[in-house]
Amino acid sequence: MSVLQVPVALSALLEDPQVTDVLVNGPDAVWVDGAGGMRRLALHLGDAAAVRALAQRLAAQAGRRLDDASPMVDAHLPGGIRMHAVVPPVAPGGPLISFRVFRREGMTLADLEAGGTVDSWGAQLLAGLVAARVNFVVSGATGAGKTTLLSALISLVGHDQRLVIIEEAQEIIASHPHCVRLEARGANAEGRGLVTLTDLVRESLRMRPDRIVLGECRGPEVREVLTALNTGHEGSAATIHANSCEDVPARLAALGSLAGLDQRTVAVQAAAALGAVVHLGRGPDGIRRVQAIAALQLAGSELSAVPAWSLGPGGAGPGPGWAALAQRLDRC
């Protein structure tokens, strides 16, 4: 990580395989997130001017600008690191830097089971979703481990199938011999060259995919995704931000409205396109866990996600949506 020209102590954190996020709230307020949850470190980065200089240096390395006229930047750095920085006047308390670290080597489903992310029954159910080519979304909050789980699951796909992976920036680590990648691109200084996720989903349909994998569904591309999943491409997947699996239908409706779709249209399309929701969250111990696997069901014009398997105080077990999900598995 020396190519980033960051302080030695910060470099060590970014290279630590247990660290997923490094948050610089000030020269004496550095926090890290990872396997043990969020914690503050006794790390000193000089003064506010030094933190600002660090952010500007890294932004310049990524070909971006960071100053009073352009006080925010989101950039991708070498080594699989995404940096977001904000400086005054937008951040009146001083410069803020957030690092998200994406590892070069992914985790397998067995690794996640060993680490407590999912129990053996849940792991078998997840593997069954992939084998049965059920379309699914992985939901959760920021930092819940959605991309890590999605990477592990698509690595289970048979090697005779072609995966097209679509992302804003490369984060998914797929251990698979036949996957191709498409990456969105922002507009240049003249406002030209923009390539959106919506554009890429459309293009992917012309690339003979067996399965389409969207790193994150976060905008109007939901229309193209639901259309694609309703015209074949079984076993496709995406991640989505949501506080619980039950909140996913509302999230889909909100995204659909950005594409000009009404709630009923989204509900009907999603019910036909998606078979399951896999929700990740964190417990009091800071460990990321699969908290529920739900079946999507349509009643009239109302879409709901009904837990088929969930993690409770007494352990994991089947829920009210089990029969519906089992029917999906049998049908696929």
Residues listed for the chain: 332
User: Where in the sequence is the domain holding 37, given as residue range(s)?
Assistant: 2-101
* pLDDT attached to residue 3: 60
Picking from 51, 74, 101, the residue at the C-terminal end of a domain is 101
Rg from Cα positions in the chain? 21
C-alpha–C-alpha distance, residues 103 and 149, integer Å: 13
- Classify residue 246 by its DSSP letter: G
* Confidence check: pLDDT of 107 > 70: yes
Residues 6+ apart with CB under 8 A from 161: 178, 210, 211, 235
What pTM was computed for the model?
Answer: 0.82
Same domain, 119 and 179: yes
Is the Cβ–Cβ distance between 18 and 34 less than 8 Å?
Answer: yes
Token match 């506080």: residue?
A: 243
**Of 10, 19, 75, nearest in space to 43 by CA:** 10
The rounded Cα 224 to chain-centroid distance in angstroms is 18
Same domain, 153 and 118: yes
The structural domain count of the chain equals 2
CATH number of the domain to which 132 belongs = 3.40.50.300
Burial class (CB in 10 A: 0-12, 13-18, 19+), 224: buried
C-alpha–C-alpha distance, residues 197 and 217, integer Å: 9
* pLDDT attached to residue 104: 66
Same domain, 179 and 292: yes
CATH number of the domain to which 90 belongs = 3.30.450.90
Same domain, 278 and 307: yes
- The proportion of the chain whose per-residue pLDDT surpasses 70, expressed as a percent, equals 96
Same domain, 130 and 221: yes
Other Cβ atoms within 10 Å of 236 Cβ, number: 26
Picking from 101, 130, 153, the residue at the C-terminal end of a domain is 101
Same domain, 165 and 292: yes
Same domain, 192 and 96: no
How does pLDDT run across 114-148, given as a tens digit for each residue?
Answer: 988 999 999 999 999 999 999 999 999 988 889 99
* Confidence check: pLDDT of 4 > 60: yes
Same domain, 247 and 133: yes
